[in-house]
Amino acid sequence: MSHDTDRLASLIADLGADLDQGVWVPGPLERTLAGRLLVACAGDGQFTPDRLRETLWEGNVALAYTAGGRLARLLTELHEVTAHSAPYAVRHPVLPEATRLLERTTEDIAA
Q: What's the predicted TM-score (pTM) here?
A: 0.81
pLDDT, one tens digit per residue, over 16-37 is 999 999 999 999 999 999 999 9
Q: Where are the domains of the chain?
A: 3-105
Q: Which amino acid is at 26?
A: P
pLDDT, one tens digit per residue, over 31-64 is 999 999 999 999 888 999 999 999 999 888 898 8
Q: Alpha helix (H) ranges present in the chain?
A: 3-21, 28-41, 49-65, 70-83, 94-105
Q: How many residues does the chain have?
A: 111
